[in-house]
Structure 1
């Protein structure tokens, strides 16, 4: 039995999750990987060794998640690293998106991850170790993308609960990292991973331009290499003091710096008003 860490990765049939699972298996790790469709996952990974445990999981269903966690532990004896990667993009103006379309995005991107965290933490606490990687986005740090308001809101939520989680689980020796990628050359912008609203409003030309850019121009032109993103995630898990915030990609680095500078500017420009609100 390998003494390397056991990884549990959701959303593993495509995108960064697939690249990560393939890299982990190649390096000899034991991996439990989940997808909504087991045949898609098995076909994408094509590994039949006892290192690999493919699982059909509905992350929106707590019982499904619980069964997957338990099966992973009964198969490999433990879980060391949990990667919440499952999710999808939603592009549309806030006025265009229905309540259901918005809630569906939160259901997967936010509550799906929370289901996994809740079911995994009792085991991680008991062993007094572990590392949770929550795959967010540069859109979880800056929301300045027309048409991505709801998607960014889901990722801002991931960033927020992850920062709190990092403090909550620190006494148990568990680490948390928010992985915030920029544009990587995966299927994320392709049909099925990026959903558009059913009812579009022509007046939002900036949203339509953003939609066209992402669906027709950026797809498969992204600068980021998903295999290198996978290597980076493995590296931080093996680091003694991993970061809470890990930005991936030069575009993400630049966007984060721009957001920090903009907030700093607002703070200083409006400092007098900001600090004038104390009870006299």
Structure 2
């Protein structure tokens, strides 16, 4: 891939976003990166290279996103690859989580991503080129995780509009890739990235057990190497025909096939009911 390409990465102060920015800069790419706090982002990345543009952005505010995109184009002249990485986890039963808690997760994970898409698309369309990576989760493909219903719903939404975006953007030479990682060893399961219910309900013991497992046993022991994940992303960005769906991790691969087989089983088991719902053909 042309190392003169310009990358625009959200949620870059930690986790996969930070690993990605560092690898890109080490590889000679030009990178605009966003975080809520630009100083924190500068410290995390640890460079003042002319190829690096740190930006303080509130993804929930479209004017803030628009300003960041404008500054990126002003500095580098273009945007080639967009990585919508910003987001946070939310664990809690659907009954436990308040309307405000659920909506806030959607504000960041879904509407924040849509704000970026709306602002970068005019630039990419004008160029007749570009590649948008929307970072989802294996939880955006299968929702079989008690306690992660709202989070999974946000990622299902990302996957749904990303598939439509791919169909819409193809005419302009723009590629779209949905990235669905499994468990990677980042800060995602720490308190700063994983919200919990303000008013837990005692009856939901299964949810509490899942919450405890993620915060205590899984955190720090995830099987995925974030450096390998972002290297895979950079590689896919160089492909002439990149995938729409990119799963990362053996766990994501296995869980995706479990979902596919479960759907296939339901389709075949209930086929008679499924296909019996049409109008009867008119008499000849």
Return the TM-score normalized by structure 2.
0.97
| Residues 211-222 of structure 1: pairs in structure 2 closer than 5 A | 211-222=211-222
Tell me the residue number matched to 1:266: 266
- Supply the distance in 1 between the matched residues of 2:240 and 2:111 (Cα, whole angstroms): 30
1:204 paired to 2:214:
no
- Supply the distance in 1 between the matched residues of 2:247 and 2:6 (Cα, whole angstroms): 24
Q: Deviations over 1:136-170 (max 9, x none)?
A: 00000000001000000000000000000000000
Deviation of 1:39 (Å): 1.5
| Residues 138-217 of structure 1: pairs in structure 2 closer than 5 A | 138-217=138-217
Return the TM-score normalized by structure 1.
0.99
- Supply the distance in 2 between the matched residues of 1:4 and 1:92 (Cα, whole angstroms): 43
Tell me the residue number matched to 1:93: 93
Whether the 8 Å CA contact 2:140–2:155 is kept in 1: the answer is yes
| Secondary structure, counterpart of 1:95 in structure 2 | coil
- Supply the distance in 1 between the matched residues of 2:37 and 2:55 (Cα, whole angstroms): 9
Tell me the residue number matched to 2:52: 52
> Which structure 2 residue ranges, 5 or more long, are not aligned?
none
- Supply the distance in 2 between the matched residues of 1:157 and 1:3 (Cα, whole angstroms): 32
How many correspondences in the alignment?
Answer: 279
Q: 1:146 to 1:127 in 2, by over 3 A?
A: same
1:128 paired to 2:132:
no
- Supply the distance in 1 between the matched residues of 2:116 and 2:68 (Cα, whole angstroms): 9
Q: Deviations over 1:177-196 (max 9, x none)?
A: 00000000000000110000
Deviation of 1:4 (Å): 2.2
Aligned CA RMSD, in angstroms, stands at 0.7
Q: Deviations over 1:103-159 (max 9, x none)?
A: 000000000000000000000000000000000000000000010000000000000
Tell me the residue number matched to 1:73: 73
